[in-house]
Structure 1
Amino acid sequence: MSSVSIQTDDFDVSAELAALRAQDGRVGAVCCFVGTVRDRSDGDAVASMELEHYPGMTEKSIEAMVAEARRRFDLFGVRVIHRVGLLAPLDQIVLVAVTAAHRGESFQACEFLMDYLKTQAPFWKKEDTPQGVRWVDARVSDDAALARWGIAAAPMAG
């Protein structure tokens, strides 16, 4: 089972994990990552963050990432939720959750998907700071994280 959602609404991590592993006796490991909005970025206060995307294109891009994760790792289920719209500090932005037979595969797959999402998913982020609104560029550290999987980052917003 794989599922990708782009949405404005918040998500319930417990409900998502329960649905991902529901009645699958093969599952020995569930790994998830939840990203949240920080109240600071590059030393500046952040009042809010707004995320934009191209509907349809974004889902296809993430589905391709999930297919690559499935090719690399022995996974039973994958769930990716990414929020868009206006978000405040402490709001959840992203959920990446995977199930596998063993923890090693699940940890690696979750980290791989998050590294891929940070650099390759077509999202555009802007932060509202005391200095004004600014677009957020991908970080060199995100590109380096992706490179360790043998993937060169394509130029995208981060």
Structure 2
Amino acid sequence: MTPTAPGEPTHFKASASRAFTFFAGKVAKWAGHPLAFALGTAVVVGWAGTGPFFGYSETWQLVINTGTTIVTFLMVFLIQNSQNRDGAAIQAKLDELIRASAAQNRYIGIENLTEEELYELRQRCETCAMAERLDDAREAADEAEARARDRARMAAERFG
């Protein structure tokens, strides 16, 4: 939990955080809706349609540039907040699955490793997976060979 500013009540911070989380979630969900795309397209088409009326002036161009820049700037923060929360929730769920299963608990919290450490860990996991596949293939080959031997022995007993 992050510290509050001096004189700021803790309940205010939690309430503001909840309000922002709610707002960011709603905006991110709405922004991904087809109607939001249609509205954005309508605004651009409407703006383009007014070009001849305003003589394609610099001010006319500045209106769309400024509007889209402001919307994009604010949306980055809202969507990033939603993605951060979604990522943290997924990570918590994965950690719980790891903790509650026969998986190795040492993988809990690896999202805090450096890029190099994660690369090394992935390489080790890939090496282990390849070794397991090789072991599985050898086991399958041994089983197939044993079945073939059994069939050959049974055929030899029948005909010999």
TM over 0.5: no
**Bigger Cα Rg:** 2
Q: Which has the larger strand fraction?
A: 1
Return the structure number with greater relative CO, CA threshold 8 A, min gap 6: 1
Q: Which band: TM-score by shorter chain?
A: under 0.3
Structure-1-length-normalised TM-score:
0.18
Q: Which has the larger helix fraction?
A: 2
Structure-2-length-normalised TM-score:
0.18
